[in-house]
Amino acid sequence: MTITSVCQSFFNGALDRCYRLSPCLADPATRSSLGLKVALVMLHLIYVGILFLFDNHLIDKTKQDPWYIALYLLLFIATLVQYFVTSGSSPGYVLDAMRALNEKNAVFAKASMTAKTLTCSYCNVEQPPRAKHCHDCDKCVLQFDHHCVWLGTCIGWGNHCRFWWYICEETALCLWTDILCIAYLKANIIRAWWKDAIMILLLVILSISLIFLLLFLLFHSYLILTNQTTYELVRRRRIPYLRGIPERVYPFSKGVCRNLYEFCCARSNIYKLERLPTAIEIEEKSRPHTCLDFLTCRCC
């Protein structure tokens, strides 16, 4: 056996072990949900730990203004708690909704949706409007938005509100940590070059993450205000009940104020089955807003 073959065998073995320890995120069969959660928690702990380890002024500020650091640590804990609450929540599955409905409501729901509902070809259940089969979870999800890899669950009707609050808290924590890193570099830029190099690297990664989080937060805020989902927005032309509707018409929107109310305050029942809008309602939504409509709050 030559040295080349030995090296190649060792490299292939090492690469194989790396793939097993850090599986492909795109493959639901091999990736580990627990591993992703541990990695995310460790990432948060590393950032906070390095900040307190390097920045002596931050420790002094803890003694002078304990409320400032207490608020930061409270946001840090709240973000991690919200992450685990969201990852453990149910997005609202179609099968659970069908079991939860009593006979009277089931008859009413079937009568109102018989003509336009589809049957899922994967799990052979009737799909109400806005539902979709998630291949990662292998279940049909009500008001499916997307499957979140780092949460390890789908985002749907049942947990979209929790997901938005998690993104909001994560964005605020990222921004605050960014400010603390910049404050450290301004005060200690010429003292220890290796500390500065580590902090600059962390700051660059944090800033890129902050940009993505801000865009993600704005995107989902827009979806909430218009009562849309990511899947409906991205795959609009492929969804049968949305093909005949103009692109700038939001068929499920009830106005900004009503959308916000239902998103924030009316989500106690995760098994809501929405009906398709009628042709008259779509025509009404297609009509452009006038000054009188704004005065009468029709847009809201």
Sign of CA dihedral 219, 222, 224, 228: negative
* Alpha-carbon span 36 to 28, nearest angstrom: 12
CA angle 26, 29, 32 (to 5 degrees): 80
Residue type, 54: F
Task: State how far Cα 169 lies from the chain centre.
Answer: 12
Bridge partners of 133, per DSSP, are: 140
* Alpha-carbon span 98 to 296, nearest angstrom: 39
CA distances, 103 to each of 94, 108, 127 (Å): 16, 9, 18
Task: State how far Cα 179 lies from the chain centre.
Answer: 24
* Alpha-carbon span 68 to 76, nearest angstrom: 13
Q: Which sequence positions are flagged as catalytic?
A: 148
